[in-house]
A and B are shown apart, each in its own frame.
Chain A
Amino acid sequence: MIALLNDFLVRATLAGIGLALAAGPLGCFVVWRRMAYFGDATAHAAVLGVALALAFDVSVFAGTSLVALAMALAVSSLASRGHAMDTSLGVLSHAALAIGLVAISFVPAVRVDLSAYLFGDILAVGVGDLAVIWGGALAVCALLAWRWSSLLAATLNADLASSAGIDPKREQLVLTLAMAVVVALAIKVVGALLIAAMLIIPAAAARGISRSPEGMAVSAVALAAISVVGGLQGSLAFDTPAGPSIVAAAAALFALSLVVSQARSRAQ
């Protein structure tokens, strides 16, 4: 069993499935609450996190999760103050990406493979990375499961949730935290530029085939895991980059789910 972990493809698959486990349910909230922008801005900030981690010689996971958390907090505080989000998010998100890329250019080139952080480096996942990814993913799942009912209520309507004694701001903070952790996990798997895709696409594909929020979360995990396996196999067969291949597989599943739900609604 342990010997299996010596195979890079097994490690890569396990890493991807670990990410799928956390990205599935979190991605559902991203879709339900229409916070796709939020995932993008947080993920872009992670590039700056990588630069800082390398500069100060701390672990990349710590660096990305801290900077992602700072960005996620900034974004949700802007949102709660009712700023015109579109522009300020565009500024924040792209500024973070650009400043991150500039900062990385100061790190000696031998130490950093930029494309690994932008597009992921899932085939180079080690056993240590695997432990971090699964630990983080399980923590995110536990957090979301613990707050599930309150999160759902706050997602449906903030005022209704308040009248039932739930603090929508606290639930937003839970999602913010989860987002920062998932971004830090995902940067190795699909890279900073495609993290939001792993959140949104499997969840969107799951919508057409689900009748309950829990069903949609479970389906999103399953679809994300299938995308990981399919994308990795495709990447091996056609010699394509792994991270983008996973996202392309997810997109193909999404297209398929559209066909399925169309056919279903016609059958009814």
Chain B
Amino acid sequence: MSLISVEGVTVGYAGGPALRDLTMRIERGEIVTVIGPNGSGKSTLIKTILGVLTPTKGRVSRERGLSIGYVPQELAIDASLPMTVARFLSLPRRQDTALIVEMLRRVGVPTVADKQLSSLSGGQFQRVLLARALLARPDILILDEPTQGLDQPGVAAFYRLIEEVRQEMGCAILLVSHDLHVVMSATDRVICLNGHICCEGAPDAVMDAPEYRALFGEGTGGALALYQHHHDHDHDHGPEHVH
């Protein structure tokens, strides 16, 4: 059975459906990237899979006991809420302190455990969110445009990290992005979304699909290549920059 299967799902808002009759599956260990322009229903799809939104038609089924690690688009922590990173990682379920320290080290922010959330930089915060998702021992990691607000080398470093932890933990990944700069070279399958699935398949095949070109134009054709070249000009934007 698939980890997650979405069958004939329509999700509506007051202004009309954001997703129409969408069917997709995610298998164990698979990396799926969803791309689409703004307003194409990407976040709606994620929220439906998480169970935050209920489909008006169709159904979403998850494998029994499925553990989801979710890295949200952006998490605005109200400055009125005092909370250390360690405490944040222990919510809602208490986690072993040694495990927290180990996970923070793994995602490259070994020194932030006792810092206040509101004092972290954007890059540190994304890594803390990733550590939090990984602490759930996920079968699938769901990342909703996780690199907004990071600069180019920061984005590259973040995706490299995700590839590494995936290889270690073997979880499936569902990644949402609105541009192609971040489509991972390791993606098994790209789904091009615009309210419905325009086209899907291996990254190269999707790039050549007429539906994809209609949505993104010819001009972005080189974007994937651009991303793939990031390794040969490497600024380390890891956490060691942090003061």
Binding site for B on A (CB under 8 A): 31-34, 149-150, 152-153, 155-164, 166, 204, 207, 210-213, 215-216
Contacts and interface: CB of A to CB of B under 8 A. Distances in A.
Nearest to A148: B92
A149 B70 contact: no
11 contacts: A32-B80, A33-B78, A150-B92, A152-B91, A156-B75, A156-B83, A160-B75, A163-B68, A163-B142, A210-B82, A215-B82
B78 A32 contact: yes
Contact of B82 (A33, A158, A166, A207): A207
Contact of A213 (B69, B83, B132): B83
Contact of B70 (A34, A159, A207, A210): A159
Contacts, number: 63
Interface residues of B, number: 25
A218 to B, nearest CB: 12
B82 A157 contact: no
Contact of B52 (A150, A152, A162, A215): A162
A107 B92 CA distance: 49
B47 interface: yes
A215 B142 CA distance: 33
B81 interface: yes
B50 A163 contact: yes
A215 B116 CA distance: 13
Given A156-B75, A158-B52, A159-B72, A166 B92 contact: yes
Contacts of B132: 160
Interface string B75-96: 1011011111001100111000
A34 B50 CA distance: 25
Greatest chain A CB density within 10 A among B70, B80, B87, B91 is at B91
Contacts of B84: 211-212
Contacts of B161: none
Contact of A153 (B51, B77, B78, B91): B91
Interface string B100-137: 00000000000000001000000000000000100010
A121 to B, nearest CB: 32
A210 B82 CA distance: 7
Given A156-B75, A156-B77, A162 B51 contact: yes
A241 B87 CA distance: 42
A111 B69 CA distance: 60
A212 B52 contact: no
Given A212-B83, A213-B82, A162 B50 contact: yes
Contacts of A149: 91-93
Contacts of A210: 82
Contacts of B83: 156, 212-213
Contacts of B47: 159
A219 to B, nearest CB: 10
Given A159-B52, A163-B50, A207 B92 contact: no
Nearest to A211: B82
Contacts of A157: 72, 75
Nearest to B46: A159
A162 B46 CA distance: 12
A213 B72 contact: no
Looking at A153, A157, A159, A163, the one whose CB has the most chain B CB atoms below 10 A away is A163
A34 B142 CA distance: 28
Nearest to A210: B82
A171 to B, nearest CB: 10
Contact of B136 (A161, A164, A166, A212): A164
B92 A161 contact: yes
A168 to B, nearest CB: 8
Contacts of B50: 159, 162-163
Interface in B183-241: none
Nearest to A163: B70
Contacts of A211: 82, 84, 116
A233 B82 CA distance: 32
B41 to A, nearest CB: 16
A216 B80 CA distance: 10
